[in-house]
């Protein structure tokens, strides 16, 4: 039975349509991850996750969850759900692409390879936001992390 180890409800500024789940220290940055062509939601790799919002210049509601094993997908009305791999150190936090960092830090406990199930909802509403709106909580995200390949 999967056990929720830790969770953080947070927000971070989306800039240029993107934000990060970034490990601390920033010796490896998720900004260096290759971006796929076309429509994409998340890429993972050394240092964290690069996340692609449907809008820009806004503050989505983001929930980070750390699980001991693969959890069930999050309940809710999600527009997109993807699963990616990443390699994380002890600590991670949300960060904007220009390095505005959340004060909330999630302790990983077992550094190394992890899986991430990334959920995103209310993307149509976020896409309709005007540039520079800085609206809060329009788009919603759930990022579930657990150890594994």
For residue 42, the model assigns a pLDDT of 98
Q: CATH assignment of 4-147?
A: 2.60.34.30
C-alpha to C-alpha distance for 126 and 147, rounded to whole angstroms:
31
Q: Domain spans of the chain?
A: 4-147
- Average pLDDT estimate for 10-18: 97
Summarize pLDDT for 95-145 with one digit per residue, the tens: 999 999 999 999 999 999 999 999 999 999 999 999 999 999 999 999 999
Task: Say what the pTM is.
Answer: 0.96
């Amino acid at each position: 039975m999967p056990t929720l180890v830790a969770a953080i409800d947070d927000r971070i500024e989306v800039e240029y349509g993107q934000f990060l789940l970034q490990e601390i220290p920033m010796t490896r940055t998720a900004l260096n991850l290759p971006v796929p062509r076309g429509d994409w939601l998340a890429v993972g790799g050394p240092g964290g996750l690069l996340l692609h919002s449907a809008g820009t210049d806004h503050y989505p509601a983001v929930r980070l969850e750390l699980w001991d094993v693969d959890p069930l997908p999050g309940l809710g009305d999600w527009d997109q759900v993807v699963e990616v791999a990443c390699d994380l150190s002890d600590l991670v936090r949300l960060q904007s692409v220009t390095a505005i960092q959340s004060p909330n830090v999630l302790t990983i406990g077992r550094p190394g390879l992890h899986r991430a199930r990334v959920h995103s909802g209310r993307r149509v509403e976020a896409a309709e936001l005007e540039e520079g709106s800085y609206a809060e909580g329009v788009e919603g995200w759930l990022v579930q992390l657990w150890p594994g390949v």
